[in-house]
Amino acid sequence: MTHIAIDGPGGAGKSSVAKLIAARLKFIYVDTGALYRAVGYYMVSNGIAPSDKEKVIAALPSVKITLKFTDKQELYLCGKDVGDKIRTPEISMAASTVSAIPEVRAFLLDTQRNIAKKNNVIMDGRDIGTVILPKADLKIFLFASPEARAQRRYEELKNKGEVTTYEAVLAEMNERDKNDSTRATAPCVPAEDAILLDNSTLDLNGTADAIISLLEKRKKLTKEIRNYSFWRAILGAPLRVLFGVKLIGKENIPNEGGVLICANHIGMRDPVLLAASYPRQVRFLAKKELFSVPIIRGIITAFGAIRLDRSTSDVGALKKAEEMIRFRQTVAIFPQGHRNPSTPVGETEFKRGASFIVSHTGCSVLPVYIQTKNQKYGLFRRVKLHIGKLIPPEQLLSREGESGYEAIIDRIREAIIDLEAKANGEVK
């Protein structure tokens, strides 16, 4: 089964885009907001204030919800099709209020999970990626500026003949956002492994295309990671033993998240040894010349290397690296641009590719210093890989524009110089 989770604030276009994707991929679209709306509607129509927690909880056993999936989702509340009655601004607020009650969320949990058990689904809501389908194949957190979202909702309501103003919709939206994102149970926040997608400037088709392409990439990636793990399990240990690799500072390696490794570059073995020793798949930015050697091309492509043209500022390669980081992968770059055996890091220049990746993705950087005797590779020479402390984005993104890029790469360079000094026993 394939599961796509789309979370995000109201008015980001989750339901329209999810419907479109479901039609294209022949998936079932599950609108989970409708379930909360149905509970809210039930309370309001039975004279129970949505904020009266005890009464709402007491009434839950009588709320009988059935979903039917034809070409759309039909919701029956106690046997009756509620249609658009759950779509009014009053019921939107009621849904938001009841959705903050943990018992209401627990009450609706199985309904949502059971549908996903038996079907390929695209499900939208607030906590699909975090709570309902934590193992979803693709998690998207879809958002847009409050103004763009209010404008869309306003048009939608106007088309349905509702009497309202843009200002009223914006105010209601801001209030609901606050409710939904600050509540204690299952707040509307992106899952750790969700991809953030801002569709303020994308139309419906553009957003659907972006998500479908992300799903295809995600599936390809999952296959690639499986192959990589297989080869890493077979080749990792022999390579480490053959080259006498010692990993120092293992505790600094993060278990998850998109990370950019920046290392000094002494020779062709650097990427091989780093890949053989690092616990997660590492995708190197590799110079394009390597891709013209048939066997090497086969190997590095299989290992997920990203082709880099060093003669230009290769925007395509940087974009690819950024995409991998958004998929929470580990990317590695040698900011020195080419091999620098024997020269101390402090005496070499660093290129700014890493700065672009960091400033576009807001990722953390893991500095690595590769050390061998006289900084040269040779037979039976031990190699030490010094892993530095992870540098969080807050320490990198202090300034914007050109001076910001300089600051980022300087900070990374300093971290590698520090590692070099420690490795050489210059600092205790």
Q: Which residues pair with 205 in a beta bridge?
A: none
Q: Is 130 in the site for ligand DC (CB under 6 A)?
A: no
* Cβ-contact 97, 51 below 8 angstroms: yes
Q: Is 104 in the site for ligand DC (CB under 6 A)?
A: no
**Residues between 175 and 204 with contacts to ligand DC, criterion CB under 6 A:** 176, 180
* Cβ-contact 191, 49 below 8 angstroms: no
* Cβ-contact 13, 142 below 8 angstroms: yes
Phi, psi of 315 (to 5 degrees): -60, -40
Nearer to ligand DC, 112 or 281 (CB): 112
Nearer to ligand DC, 49 or 242 (CB): 49
* Cβ-contact 413, 345 below 8 angstroms: yes
In eight-state DSSP terms, residue 4 is E
* Cβ-contact 390, 358 below 8 angstroms: no
CB of 352 to ligand DC, least distance (A): 42
Nearer to ligand DC, 10 or 267 (CB): 10
Nearer to ligand DC, 176 or 307 (CB): 176
**Judged by CB under 6 A, which stretch of 119-127, 255-263, 303-311, 409-417 contacts ligand DC?**
119-127
**Considering CB under 6 A, how many residues would be counted as binding ligand DC?**
15
CB of 90 to ligand DC, least distance (A): 12
Residues 6+ apart with CB under 8 A from 76: 65, 66, 67, 68, 82
**Judged by CB under 6 A, which stretch of 29-37, 145-153, 217-225, 338-346 contacts ligand DC?**
29-37
Nearer to ligand DC, 6 or 262 (CB): 6
Q: Is 322 in the site for ligand DC (CB under 6 A)?
A: no
Query: Angle at Cα 202 formed by Cα 166 and Cα 182, nearest 5°?
Result: 60
Q: Is 304 in the site for ligand DC (CB under 6 A)?
A: no
CB of 202 to ligand DC, least distance (A): 19
CB of 100 to ligand DC, least distance (A): 8
Tokens 């040894």 locate to: 273
Among 3, 19, 37, 411, the residue binding ligand DC under the rule CB under 6 A is 37
Nearer to ligand DC, 20 or 321 (CB): 20
Among 18, 43, 48, 95, the residue binding ligand DC under the rule CB under 6 A is 95
With DSSP H G I counted as helix, E B as strand and the rest as coil, what are the percentages for the chain, rounded to 5? 50, 15, 30
Pairwise CA distance, residues 147 & 139, whole Å = 24
Among 13, 20, 30, 126, the residue binding ligand DC under the rule CB under 6 A is 126
Among 18, 22, 99, 157, the residue binding ligand DC under the rule CB under 6 A is 99
Among 33, 129, 249, 367, the residue binding ligand DC under the rule CB under 6 A is 33
Instruction: Fill in the amino acid letter for 239.
Output: L
CB of 156 to ligand DC, least distance (A): 11
Nearer to ligand DC, 94 or 276 (CB): 94
Nearer to ligand DC, 102 or 316 (CB): 102
CA-based Rg of the chain, rounded to a whole angstrom?
A: 26
Between helices 89-98 and 33-45, what is the axis angle to 10°? Answer: 100
Pairwise CA distance, residues 259 & 273, whole Å = 18
Pairwise CA distance, residues 102 & 119, whole Å = 26
Q: Is 413 in the site for ligand DC (CB under 6 A)?
A: no
Site string for ligand DC, 137-176 (x = CB under 6 A): ---------------------------------------x
CB of 11 to ligand DC, least distance (A): 8
Among 18, 32, 172, 325, the residue binding ligand DC under the rule CB under 6 A is 32
* Cβ-contact 123, 4 below 8 angstroms: yes
Closest CA to 422 of 381, 382, 371, 383: 371
CB of 306 to ligand DC, least distance (A): 36
CB of 10 to ligand DC, least distance (A): 4
Q: How far is CA 116 from the centre of its chain?
A: 21
Helix ranges (H only) for 243-342 are 269-277, 294-302, 315-326
Binding residues vs ligand DC (CB under 6 A): 10, 32-33, 36-37, 92, 95-96, 99, 125-128, 176, 180
